Amino acid sequence: MKVLMTEPLAEIDYRVSDPLAGERVDRAISFISGLSRSKVSELINEGLIRKNGIPVKKGSEKTLDGDILLFPNPENFTTRKLQPDQSVKFSTVYEDEHVVVVDKPSGLVVHPGAGRGDGTLVNGLLARYPDMSEVGDQNRLGLVHRLDKGTSGLLIVARTSTALENLKKKMENREIDRQYFAILCGHLSSEKGIIEAPLGRDPRNPIRRAVIPNGKSAKTHYRVMEKYSIPIKATIAECTLETGRTHQIRAHFSAIGNPVLGDQLYGGETLGNELGRPALHSQRIEFTHPVTGKELSFFSLLPTDLANLKSQLS
């Protein structure tokens, strides 16, 4: 069972003094709150723990005497089992007893996290495939990789522990090909290229990712498909991930001055109010079946909102 949020966050602030002065932040908060170190690490990754008003980036950061630590009240957490939810709507392009390939709609959160325990794709998967209840971490039930809430398209899910282990190794070894459709702001300076820049949590905004010297290696390949000038300058590009970092495409193109259209978090322009999400779609995925060894390839057509957006460009 996992620790899930059930109530809105309420913060506790704590002034550090001996004997916690000089201790790691994650250990100090675990001692103060009674939360497990793994849960504290999750909260740090979500940007929900701050030291002197600044989000903590690593649990290994040291405390000083007089530091003010702010963290969610542990009373807002409870231990309960992941619940199936038949109301969660999603379609699939492939399924067998080992693997499911989901075509995720935009707006659907993939898995439970801080502040969100129900109504996710994982809840829907459990309702549709009860046999997956023991596959992998409960909060990320069978997920081989993830898509952001606003990103639509293809996503691989394993239905057995054996398949999950195999597919995760393939992902780590870069043996799963993922291609994205993106509408970018402005015109790219070259018709194809590689953006290779390390990504980590943006020190100015814990929700964002940014190119930082000590970030994790990240590489995005792109190829320009079309360019437009009316009503705004925009470029359609096919993007292939060599690595799979959080917000990788969004952060990389923002870093070179061509954020994804509609991506307000990363400075992307909007074209009217009809989209309400980044113009990003996981359109193709190719991998070797973890059991049969068969080569599988799937393609997802553009959803209506992106197709309509594309039609407005000329």
Name 25's Cβ contacts closer than 8 Å, sequence gap at least 6.
44, 49, 51, 56, 58, 59, 60, 61, 62, 63, 69
Number of CB atoms found within 10 A of residue 303's CB: 16
Q: Which of 304, 177, 170 is nearest to 238 (CA)?
A: 177
Helix (H, G, I), strand (E, B) or coil at 214: coil
Q: Which of 26, 67, 148, 263 is catalytic?
A: 148
What is the C-alpha to C-alpha distance for residues 246 and 261, in angstroms, rounded to an integer?
18
Q: Measure Cα distances from 43 to 48, 58, 117, 245 in Å.
A: 5, 11, 14, 18
Q: Is 65 annotated in the active site? A: no
Run of H or E including 211: strand 205-211
Name 237's Cβ contacts closer than 8 Å, sequence gap at least 6.
182, 184, 188, 222, 223, 224, 225
Dihedral over alpha carbons 56, 58, 61, 65 (to 10 degrees): 30
Dihedrals φ, ψ of 149, to 5°?
A: -55, -45
CB half-sphere exposure, 271, CA atoms < 13 A: 22
Task: Classify residue 113 by burial, with Cβ atoms within 10 Å: 0-12, 13-18, 19+.
Answer: middle
Question: What is Dmax (Cα atoms) for the chain?
Answer: 65
Name 173's Cβ contacts closer than 8 Å, sequence gap at least 6.
none
Secondary structure of 219-260 in HEC code, one letter for each residue: EEEEEEEEEECCCCCEEEEEEEECCCCCCHHHHHHHHCCCCE
Task: Please identify every residue annotated as catalytic.
Answer: 148
